[in-house]
Amino acid sequence: MNWNEILFWLLKSGLFFFILITACAYYTLAERKVAGFIQDRKGPNRAGIWGLLQPLADGIKFLTKEEVFPTQVNKVMYLIAPAISMTCAIMAWSVVPLGGQIPLPQWLQDKTGLTFLDLQIANPDTGILFLFAISSLAVYGIIIAGWASNNKYSLLGAIRSTAQMISYELPLSMSVVSIVILTGSLKLSDISASQAGLWNIFKLPGFIAFCLFVVAMFAETNRLPFDLAEAESELVVGFHTEYGAFKFALFFIAEYMNMITMSCVVTLLFFGGYQVPFGILEGHVLQSLFGLFSFWERFCSSLFYSCG
């Protein structure tokens, strides 16, 4: 691997991270807009046109707030916890393919030695296994945050969240096992490619696996009705009660990153991923672009459903 290839890979990784951060920012805005519509109010509409700069305003607010440490906390563990959650969320995203291979122009092929651009940071053989293994490690960030905060509400929230995540790992994994057996591969790109003719949700165990996966996905990401870890009436806001400013923002962003990643995964496992329906444009250069559009359309549908 020469320096051109390394630089190209770093630029691609940076672009994927930018896509993830931007998606998180505007997902929060979309969620607040939907909540406002349901509650018969306007929602955020002051920062920029139609409130489109609200995520930027929120980011500046978190960055400029005073860093406050509660008394008698373990500062090292207190700071490590949000970093663990954020790192696990980013690493899980690294194996998610956003589309098929896009042919590179000749001049870029000469510089990088690559013929196609993979819309994926890494494509390990372990694929979906790597994703769930990394996602499971996020539980350490949660339990450390609850313990290091020296607060009974934080600790109880961390225990609840940890118990919930561990409990729902089993149905989540079992639902994926059926898809892996159908496909014969752990790679998410291979799972998507195997659905060129028929989506997995329409195959025999697919619909049952999909129902299990969606329920477990909501539990893993602490969405309603599985928000026991953040029950305001009982535990204030759960394991991040004592967190504020940028430290709280890291937990907040990691949670939304996980929702985006899981919405991508459910699209790849059950709804054909980035495969264009009915073999349209098969073998054509536009197939990759239409596949990218097709993937994002299904992904946005899954993400909108998770707003509930």
| Residue 1, CA distances (Å) to 7, 111, 113, 143 in order | 10, 12, 9, 40
pLDDT tens series, the chain, 308 aa: 667 777 877 888 888 888 888 888 888 888 888 888 888 888 788 887 888 888 888 888 888 888 888 877 888 888 898 999 899 988 988 888 887 777 777 777 777 677 777 778 888 888 888 988 898 888 888 888 888 888 888 888 888 888 888 888 888 888 888 888 888 888 888 888 888 778 888 887 888 888 888 888 888 887 777 776 666 666 567 777 888 788 888 888 888 888 888 888 888 888 877 776 655 555 555 655 666 666 666 666 666 655 55
Cβ count within 10 A of residue 3 = 7
Q: And the tokens for 1?
A: 């691997």
Beta strands in the chain (DSSP E): 101-103, 116-118
For the chain, give every domain's residue range: 70-306
Q: Residue 247 has which token pair? A: 């430290």
- Per the CB < 8 A criterion, the answer to whether 144 and 81 are in contact is yes
Cα angle: 63, vertex 64, 66; to 5 degrees: 110
Paired strand residues for 118: 101
The long-range contacts involving 27-34, CB below 8 angstroms and separated by at least 24 positions, are: 27/256, 27/259, 27/260, 27/303, 28/55, 28/58, 28/256, 29/54, 29/55, 30/304, 30/307, 31/307, 34/304, 34/307
Residue with tokens 């819309």: 119
Count of C-beta atoms within a 10 Å radius of residue 157: 27
For residue 229 the two structure tokens come to 């870890």
**Token pair 């995520």 is at which residue?**
55
- Can you give the pLDDT at residue 247? 86
Length of the chain: 308
pLDDT of res. 229: 66
Quickly tell me which residue has 């978190």 as its tokens.
62
Q: Report d(CA 93, CA 90) in Å as an integer.
A: 5
